[in-house]
């Protein structure tokens, strides 16, 4: 698509003849043209429609072009729209005043068709170039945040448990005489739980890295949340038992949704793991679900330490590292929650958190519901 075909131009002039001449010139190059005859209406139009560029007359009754431009430049949502002044005034002082008001160019009357084309076209190209640069900067910032998050996970969440595993195994081998059968069994169970958590973290890390590169494909099908919840409970029960936490699903009847099985299993598993981190011994974690036939709402509730209102707003941010220690000083940086949010949204759902400090938290995600058996 050419620059002209995709760009909209607002012409502001109280002279009907001037409006028609400029509109005809620009429409000849396929620009989308709108016309306004006075300053207040121009500001209202700009705020609502946000044209790509404005051709603005200076001498108008009521509000002149200088004031229109100054008010435009004071509004963040429209301040980057380029303004080209059009006027019969050719004095240098008027041109300086136009640029001081925020204009990017100045065209004197009578109009010359090729000059209009050239000036409008170059400022539109500059505008689009700035927008592309801003978009590239945002993508670069996001890529750097992703890189930093990956390095942080590798440096802390993976290195620490692997080092602990290695040290414990070394101790069991070099000082085997210190371990009776009960102590050996306890250590092995703890090592198994730690290895399982590390493997799940690595799996999440790989999942998320592929997602950031656009390689994760959502393949939805009809699923029963009750079955996924039971699978998750069986998988994570050893870790819950090691902390004397009661983990169970109270979903008895089928709750059918249309979603990607692997992604939703990852969401449930991560929400349970997060709940275990912040739930003290003898606590409780339960999975529940309700459906109205259109939307299913799945909840993972705990009786843990809770989260402050300030920190709830930071849980799902990808542009900052947010970390708190669990009730057994478990480490983590909220990576799993970020993945949960992304996977819920990929499946046309959402994720939110509700919490009361000292009482517990509930994480709720929604999915498209379907009727019938999976």
pLDDT band at 366 (very low <50, low <70, confident <90, very high): very high
| Chain length of the chain | 374
Token pair 């739930």: residue? 279
CA distance 259 to 370: 10
pLDDT of residue 298: 97
pLDDT band at 8 (very low <50, low <70, confident <90, very high): very high
User: Contact at 8 Å (CB) between 39 and 12?
Assistant: yes
Q: Residue ranges of the domains in the chain? A: 8-111, 139-368
Mean pLDDT (whole number) for 72-97: 89
> pLDDT tens digits for 140-158?
777 677 666 666 666 656 6
Of residues 249, 318, 258, 253, the one with CA closest to residue 286: 249
CA atoms lying within 13 Å on the CB side of residue 374: 19
Task: Write the secondary structure of 132-145 as one string of H (helix), E (strand) and C (coil).
Answer: HHHHHHHHHHHHHH
pLDDT of residue 211: 65
Averaged confidence pLDDT in the chain = 84
pTM of the predicted structure, to 2 decimals? 0.52
Listed in sequence order, the residues at least 6 apart from 107 whose beta carbon sits closer than 8 Å to its beta carbon are 55, 84, 85, 86, 87, 115, 116, 119
pLDDT of residue 319: 52
CA distance 14 to 35: 10
With a pLDDT cut of 90, the percent of the chain lying above it is 47
Q: Which CATH superfamily is domain 8-111 in?
A: Response regulator (3.40.50.2300)
> pLDDT tens digits for 203-233?
767 766 666 666 567 889 999 999 999 999 9
Identify the burial level of 16 via C-beta atoms within 10 angstroms of its C-beta, where 0-12 means exposed, 13-18 middle and 19 or more buried: exposed
CATH architecture label of 139-368 = 2-Layer Sandwich (3.30)
Indicate whether 239 pLDDT > 50: yes
């Amino acid at each position: 698509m050419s620059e002209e075909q995709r760009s909209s131009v607002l012409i502001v002039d109280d002279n009907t003849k001037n409006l028609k001449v400029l509109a005809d010139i620009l429409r000849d190059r396929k620009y989308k043209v709108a016309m306004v005859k006075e300053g207040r209406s121009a500001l209202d139009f700009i705020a609502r429609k946000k044209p790509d560029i404005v051709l603005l007359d200076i001498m108008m009754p009521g509000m002149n072009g200088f004031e229109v431009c100054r008010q435009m430049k004071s509004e963040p949502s429209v301040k980057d729209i380029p303004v080209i002044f059009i006027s019969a005034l050719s004095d240098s002082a008027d041109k300086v005043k136009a640029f001081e008001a925020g204009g990017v160019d100045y065209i004197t009357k009578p109009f010359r068709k090729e000059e209009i084309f050239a000036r409008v076209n170059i400022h539109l190209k500059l505008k689009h170039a700035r927008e592309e640069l801003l978009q590239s900067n945002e993508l670069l910032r996001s890529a750097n945040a992703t890189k930093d998050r990956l390095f942080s996970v590798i440096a802390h969440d993976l290195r620490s448990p692997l080092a602990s595993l290695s040290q414990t195994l070394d101790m069991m081998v070099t000082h085997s005489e210190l371990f009776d059968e009960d102590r050996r069994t306890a250590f092995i169970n703890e090592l198994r739980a730690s290895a399982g958590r590390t493997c799940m973290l690595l799996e999440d890390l790989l999942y998320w890295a592929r997602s950031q590169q656009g390689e994760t494909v959502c393949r939805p099908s009809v699923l029963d949340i009750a079955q996924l919840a039971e699978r998750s409970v069986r998988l994570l029960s050893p870790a819950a038992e090691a902390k004397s936490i009661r983990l169970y699903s109270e979903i008895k009847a089928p709750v059918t949704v249309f979603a990607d099985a692997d992604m939703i299993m990852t969401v449930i598993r991560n929400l349970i793991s997060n709940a275990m981190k912040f739930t003290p011994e003898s606590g409780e974690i339960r999975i529940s679900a309700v459906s109205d036939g259109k939307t299913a709402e799945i909840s993972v509730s705990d009786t843990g330490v809770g989260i402050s209102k300030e920190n709830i707003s930071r849980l799902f941010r990808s542009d900052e590292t947010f970390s708190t220690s669990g009730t057994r000083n478990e480490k983590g940086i909220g990576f799993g929650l970020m993945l949960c949010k992304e996977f819920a949204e990929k499946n046309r759902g959402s994720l939110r958190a509700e919490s009361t400090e000292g009482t517990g938290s509930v994480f709720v995600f929604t999915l498209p519901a379907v009727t019938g058996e999976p």
